Each structure stands twice: as structure tokens, then as C-alpha cells.
Structure 1
């Protein structure tokens, strides 16, 4: 650093210009990205992609389960049979469960969209963040170095902004995905596995309902009929089944909302405010005495 302060202003500018040219050569030749940055960050990228693909697979399976519940209940709700002298439609009691399954499938669509967007940003950062935002850094640095003094505040803010965007997209988003995955594995995964296991067990009878029921003694309707010997017991059993399923769907909605929506958005919010603080912090003030101090 002492050597730097001994140089004249012209020599300092020349060295900075040579440094920018060298940085541009590494950037546009692909050496910086293919041989330095990407190999260095490869473990982080692979871990982030693994976590996001696993979340996408789980969200897709949950969406399929929700649609299966909705389809099975739609078939059952229109069927009726007689118990003694009463004619009943047990599927109507499952209507709240069907509504909750529809809401659950909507949440799963949002979850898959969120995870897909994060996967895109991770891939985008790996392929295009350095050439795109690195070019902005070089242009802002050249403007600061070669332009008039009145350009320097704006060029400084642009330089900071492109640096923050580069770090946020190339490192922050994969790091946030890995952190969210680790937090979800620690806090949410045991509850998710237990809830989905119970959900799969209780929907086992609905999985056989692929076509509308032809007779009152086939498929899920026969299963429901065997739950009780009269209408009151049957409706009580169906209502209990529906309430239990609704409770489990609510738990899964909370888990997937936290895992695929709230936690990723919270991590992006924190990263964004850190970057915003770095970009908008005041520029250093150079005193008049320092500005007119002759170079040694």
C-alpha cells in the first residue's frame, strides 16, 4: 500500500486501467468463469440443485396426492345407497375435505413454481451472472476512471450495484437454497414425513377409485358402508375421517409454505437488504486538503 501512495495520479490511473483490461480479458475469454469461479463454487451449486430438485419432487408428489383426493371424493360424493329405510350420500360429508384438497393443490402449484424459479436462478447464476454483471462492473469502473469527476458518484453506485447483483445471484441464491434446505431438514422434515405417511395411509382406499362407481357395493363406497351398520354411525365415521384428513392437509400446507415460499423469500429479503445497505451507504468524503495534496 505504501508503494501505491508514492505513485503519481497518472501512474495510478494507468495501473487501474491495466487491471481493468486484464479483468476484462479473463472475463470475456471464459477463463475466469470456466476455470476459476465455476470450479470453486461447484460444490455449492450441486448441493443447491440437489436440495431444490428434491423439493420439486416432493411438491409434485404432494400435488398428485391432492388431485387424487379431489378426484376420489368427486366420484364418491354423487353416489348414494340405502341403510334400512334411509337413503344417504356419504360423500357429501367429505365436501370440506375436497375443498381443502383443492386449496392444498393450489399451494403445491405455488411451491413448484417457487422451486422452479430458484432452480432457474441457480442455473442462470452459473452460466450468465459473471459475464452479465461482470460487464457492468467493468463499464462502471471505466466510467469512474476515464470519465469526468462529476461521473464518479454515479459510477461508484453503479459499481457497487453490479457487484452486489453478481454476489447475490452467483453466491447468495445457491447459499440461501442450501441454508433453507438444512433448516427444513432439521425443523420440518420429521413432521412432514409423519404427516404424509398418515395421509397416504388414510387415502389408501381412495386410490382405487379411478372411475365413477357403477354399483353401490364397489370401490370406496363399499369401504365406507362397512364402517357402520346404520346411517348415524356411518356419517359419524365419515366425518371423523374427513376432519382427520383436513387437519393433516393443513399441517402440510403450513410445512410446504414455510419450506418453499416463506423461508426462500425471507432469505432473499435478508440478502437484498444487505446488498441495498452496501450500495446506498454514503460515499467517502475527500477533504480539500487531501484533494490538492501533491503527489510525491
Structure 2
């Protein structure tokens, strides 16, 4: 009697699991064709790409700003004339920004790869193969016990699980990563980006000229400065090396003036140079504005602001590393472990028809 009761309970337990697995097969095939998770993951990847691209643009802008400041040479008089270069004091910061830029490239690359793979596993071919495999498993579950428990029945079930893993593994990884990102990381990343964007000199200001005559004057000014620079270069090749220091400082000053004038003429003036374009009421005022635009105190103030942003840069690098590389790999590892456990088990036994 006890053996009979045990057999009945075991059959009831097996029957529940059998219907559960059959329901999961039907549900997974339906979910595959609905594309609900696919749409969510695609939207998340697109949003993450926009965010990572913004971070990369900021990195490029900071790199351009630092490179420009490194090219600036200051002249001052303290009894004896001398010059101070901003390059050396900005070199460590420039190295960090280069690493930050490389990290953003890596993050964008990771997101693009995920997007391409999502498009592949969301293709109709995967949906059709999963559907055919699911139907084969359902058919094997309703025919005789020997077939369902045999090698072919188990093979069909494992084939379905393999296709299910390929179809949904990356989708579930990206979906889980998106949920964690939206809950804990997204706003933190936005805050760090906002801090970097607010640094004076990083954002470009659009200041398009409405006065054609002023644009013409700037063009003539640039041409004149370029001619002066060419003349100085020729003189540098004809004088002894020990006499070149003064001319090199003058050439650097002219090159900086040319760069600022070109930015102002194009209406693309980085942050703290934005007011220059509004100062061009005449050619003389334009030259004066350019010469007064860059000074040691201003550069060191900008350097101080950039130094204060080091923590924000490091935070951004860590956040993007976490949400584009570490978390996806972690979720994929956990999902793979779960799939391995299912694969090594023998789930075919619960699909056997319940004995009478």
C-alpha cells in the first residue's frame, strides 16, 4: 500500500513538472515571436550608445582644449624676459583624458557589438528554428514512453534548450543589465557627464556672424598673420640656434592668434573664448581681443577646474566599465552556469506520459 501511495505521489509530482515544462516551451516560443524583450533591450542599447557617445564627445572636447592650452606660450617680464609653457603642467591631465577617451571607445565598441548580436538573435531564422524545435519536443512528449525517455527524445529537448539559450541568453543579459543600470547607474552617469560638460572651455559655443564685412576682415587678418608666420619661419632657418628663442615665442603667439581667429570666424569658440567673437567690432579690436584672450592666470584657472574634474573622469570610466563590460559578463556567466546545470540533468524524464 505504501509503495502504491508513493508511486501515485511521484506520478502527480512528475505530471506537474511535465505540464510546467510544456507550458514553458509554449511560452518561450510565444515570447520569442512577440519581441517584447527585444524591443526593450534594443531601446536600452540605443540609449546607452547615446550616453557613451556624449561621454566620448566630451573626451574629445577636453583633449582639444588641453592640446590648445599646451600650445600656448606666455611672455612676461621679471627683470629679465622669459617664457612659460603650459604643456608640462597639463601633460598628466592630458594622459588621463587620453585614457578616458580610450575607455569610451571601448564602451561604445562593446555596446555596438551587443546591438549587432541582438539583431542577429532576434532575426526570424532563430524564431523559426526555436519554434520547430519546440514543436518537436511537444510531439515527443505525447507519444509512447520509450520515445520520450529515449535518446532521440532527450536529444530533441536538449536541442531546444540550446536554441533557447542562443535566442534569449544575450537578450536576458542585456535586459538584466538595463534594469540594474536604470535603477543604480544611469542617473549617476548623467550627473558625472553634466559636471564635465559644465567645465568652462569644454562645450563649444555657436556665435555665427551676421556681419559679412566683419567676416571679411577676419579672413584678411588670418591671411596677414599667416604671412607673418611664414616670414618668421624663414628667418628661423637663417639665424644661429642661440638667437631663435625670441622668434620662436613670436611664432607661437602668432599661431595661437590664427587659431583663435579661425575659431571665431567659424563661430566655433570653445567656452572661455566665446566672448571673443562678440568683441570683433573692427580689425584692431579683433587683434586686441585675441591677444588678451589667453593669459597665464586664465590657463591655470582652467587647469585647476580640469584637475578638480579628475575624480569625475575616473568615476565615469568606472561606471561605463561596470555597465558595458563587467555586468554583462557577470550576468552571462550566471546564465551560463544555470544552463549548464539544466544541460547536465535529465529533464526528459518529466516529459514521459504519466503511467496509468
State the TM-score, normalizing by the size of structure 1: 0.66
Residues 1:225 and 2:295 are matched in the alignment: yes
Residues 1:102 and 2:109 are matched in the alignment: no
Unaligned runs of 5+ in 1: 6-22, 24-31, 229-233, 286-294
Aligned to 2:329: 265
* Counterpart secondary structure, 1:202: coil
Residues 1:183 and 2:180 are matched in the alignment: yes
Aligned to 1:116: 112
RMSD value, Cα:
4.1
Residues 165 and 196 of structure 1: is their aligned pair in 2 closer, same or farther, counting only changes over 3 Å?
same
* Counterpart secondary structure, 1:204: coil
Summarize the alignment of residues 284-295 of structure 1 with structure 2, pairs less than 5 Å apart: none
| Separation of aligned partners in 1, 2:258 and 2:310 | 26
Unaligned runs of 5+ in 2: 1-7, 12-24, 206-251, 261-268, 274-291, 350-354
Summarize the alignment of residues 1-296 of structure 1 with structure 2, pairs less than 5 Å apart: 36-39=30-33, 41-84=34-77, 85-127=81-123, 128-132=125-129, 156=154, 158-159=155-156, 161-205=158-202, 207=204, 214-215=256-257, 218=260, 225=295, 227=297, 235=300, 237-281=301-345
The CA deviation string for residues 132-168 of structure 1, in whole angstroms up to 9 with x for no partner, is 456677899999x9xxx9xx55973x54543333222
| Separation of aligned partners in 2, 1:190 and 1:37 | 30
| Separation of aligned partners in 1, 2:53 and 2:316 | 13
- Structure with greater Cα Rg: 2
* Counterpart secondary structure, 2:105: helix
| Separation of aligned partners in 1, 2:62 and 2:331 | 33
| Separation of aligned partners in 1, 2:64 and 2:158 | 50
Is contact 1:48–1:174 with CA below 8 Å preserved after alignment? yes
| Separation of aligned partners in 1, 2:177 and 2:167 | 17
* Counterpart secondary structure, 2:257: coil
Count how many residue pairs are aligned between Structure 1 and Structure 2.
247
* Counterpart secondary structure, 1:129: helix
| Separation of aligned partners in 1, 2:126 and 2:200 | 45
Is contact 2:137–2:160 with CA below 8 Å preserved after alignment? no
Question: How much does 1:259 deviate?
Answer: 1.2
The CA deviation string for residues 67-86 of structure 1, in whole angstroms up to 9 with x for no partner, is 22222322321221113344
